[in-house]
């Protein structure tokens, strides 16, 4: 069915085309490195330098202790200390402060009398994520402050000791989370988006007719276009993995050998999808737009790369099951961080195998060599 001499000829033609378009080739390698650097250095979920305003109506020593506890925590920057609570509105409106702490006039007196003293935190909720984290820090500081007060008077041991242990990414570093995910995302861009252009380009330039007049079969064209991209994809995975391990010290706990199999399956599946899109669309403008929706966006949003699938609404969660990046991400994170192998990751591998077979079939079918 496949004649290897003809297949080799198609591959050579594709490689030649890529070599002549040296800029594309360079970009295919620069893009992953650039993404790694941006994600690794510039971007973090951590919240630092929370601008805080304090309205201290108490002026007592205890109130000052509380404020210095906030300053000592290192995450808050005191930017204003207005005398009245009515000033808070303006500070939050302008964004001068993100959080305002109000210590009411009875604070010290309540504490002295053994009553529960109250503190108020007002947060700018427009950035809900930052606000939640900032409130979390505030809560922790107030709780600790309270515990210290207690320990000076009563039993210092909390009745239930909640021990927290984090597995797989012990210091909760965000680059350990992002780098393995990035490998998946880059593959989606390179493999899915780039291939979605290749057959459309032949249509647009009219070279499809030339290809059609040759004895090359459908399967040979599809595989001939697939293999060069597969090679680029594998090199890209290797480059970004090594860069992640060297630059960002992401642990690699599993077996490199096992990772190769699922990587090829995932790449073939994604390449097949790209080719199917390409064969179906006929213009590169359209192909790139469809490619965006079908490869990059799901890879970015629905794979669990940044946003946990668990918390999505049901329709979206169901949608993630047809996103191959979801399975590959489980494999990559599993191998990098958990150090697990085929004994755990075989269901994902099988699903990716099915996916690859499906998209390849789709690509061959969508690619009608006959010119109508």
The token pair at 67 is 């404020």
Q: Which of 304, 349, 351, 363 binds another protein (CB under 8 A)?
A: 304
Q: Which of 4, 165, 215, 246 binds another protein (CB under 8 A)?
A: 165
Scanning 6-14, 154-162, 218-226, 253-261 for contacts with another protein by CB under 8 A, the matching segment is 154-162
Q: In the complex with another protein, which residue's Cβ is closer, 47 or 219?
A: 47
Residue 313 makes contact with another protein by CB under 8 A = yes
Residues 79-108 that bind another protein (CB under 8 A): 92-94
Q: Which of 27, 33, 67, 109 binds another protein (CB under 8 A)?
A: 27
Contact 301, 185 (CB under 8 A): no
CA distance 192 to 204: 19
Q: Which of 1, 4, 5, 23 binds another protein (CB under 8 A)?
A: 23
Block residue for tokens 């697990």: 340
Query: What mask of x and - would describe binding to another protein in positions 199 to 218, judged by CB under 8 A?
Result: --x--xx-------------
Three-class DSSP category at 53: strand
Contact 247, 41 (CB under 8 A): no
CA distance 53 to 73: 15
Question: What separation, in Å, do the N-terminal and C-terminal C-alpha atoms of the chain show?
Answer: 24
Scanning 7-15, 39-47, 52-60, 221-229 for contacts with another protein by CB under 8 A, the matching segment is 39-47
Q: In the complex with another protein, which residue's Cβ is closer, 195 or 359?
A: 195
Residue 158 makes contact with another protein by CB under 8 A = yes
Q: Which residues contact 187 (CB under 8 A, 6 or more apart)?
A: 233, 236, 237, 266, 267, 270, 299, 325, 328
Q: Which of 133, 211, 235, 264 binds another protein (CB under 8 A)?
A: 133
Q: Which of 33, 78, 109, 131 binds another protein (CB under 8 A)?
A: 131
Q: In the complex with another protein, which residue's Cβ is closer, 6 or 341?
A: 341
Give min distance, CB of 215 to another protein, in A. Answer: 27
Block residue for tokens 């990059």: 296
Give min distance, CB of 112 to another protein, in A. Answer: 10
Residue 197 makes contact with another protein by CB under 8 A = yes
Residues 258-297 that bind another protein (CB under 8 A): 281, 283-286, 288-290, 292-293, 297
Burial class (CB in 10 A: 0-12, 13-18, 19+), 143: exposed
Contact 95, 79 (CB under 8 A): no
Scanning 170-178, 219-227, 271-279, 354-362 for contacts with another protein by CB under 8 A, the matching segment is 170-178
Taking the CB of residue 225, how many other CB atoms lie within 10 A of it? 25
CA distance 138 to 119: 11
Whole-angstrom Cα Rg for the chain: 28
Number of residues engaging another protein in binding (CB under 8 A): 113
Contact 133, 139 (CB under 8 A): no
The token pair at 14 is 């594709």
């Amino acid at each position: 069915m496949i004649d290897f001499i003809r297949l080799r000829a198609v591959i050579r033609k594709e490689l030649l085309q890529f070599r002549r378009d040296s800029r594309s080739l360079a970009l295919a390698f620069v893009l992953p490195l650039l993404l790694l650097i941006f994600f690794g250095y510039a971007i973090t979920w951590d919240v630092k330098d929370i601008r805080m305003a304090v309205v201290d109506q108490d002026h007592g020593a205890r109130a000052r202790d509380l404020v210095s506890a906030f300053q000592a925590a290192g995450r808050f920057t005191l930017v204003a200390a207005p005398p009245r609570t009515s000033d808070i509105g303006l500070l939050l409106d302008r964004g001068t402060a993100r959080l305002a702490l109000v210590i009411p006039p009875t604070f010290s007196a309540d504490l002295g009398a053994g009553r529960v003293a109250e503190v108020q935190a007002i947060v700018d909720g427009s950035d809900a994520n930052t606000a939640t984290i900032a409130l979390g820090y505030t809560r922790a500081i107030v709780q600790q402050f309270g515990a210290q007060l207690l320990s000076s008077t009563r039993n210092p041991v909390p009745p239930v000791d909640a021990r927290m242990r984090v597995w797989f990414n012990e210091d909760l570093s965000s680059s350990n989370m992002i780098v393995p995910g990035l490998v998946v995302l880059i593959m989606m861009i390179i493999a899915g988006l780039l291939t979605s252009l290749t057959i459309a380009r032949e249509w647009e330039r009219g070279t499809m007719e030339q290809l059609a007049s040759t004895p090359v079969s459908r399967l040979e064209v599809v595989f001939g276009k697939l293999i060069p991209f597969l090679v680029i994809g594998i090199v890209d995975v290797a480059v970004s993995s090594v860069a992640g391990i060297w630059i960002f010290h992401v642990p690699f706990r599993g077996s490199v050998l096992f990772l190769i199999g699922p990587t090829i399956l995932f790449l073939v599946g994604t390449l097949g999808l790209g080719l199917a899109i390409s064969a179906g669309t006929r213009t590169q403008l359209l192909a790139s737009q469809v490619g965006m929706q079908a490869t990059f966006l799901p890879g970015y949003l629905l794979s669990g790369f940044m946003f946990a699938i668990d918390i999505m609404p049901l329709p979206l969660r169901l949608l993630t099951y047809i996103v191959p990046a979801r399975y590959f991400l489980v494999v990559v994170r599993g191998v990098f961080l958990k150090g697990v192998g085929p004994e755990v990751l075989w269901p994902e591998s099988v699903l990716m195998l099915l996916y690859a077979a499906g998209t390849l079939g789709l690509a061959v079918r969508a690619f009608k060599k006959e010119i109508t």
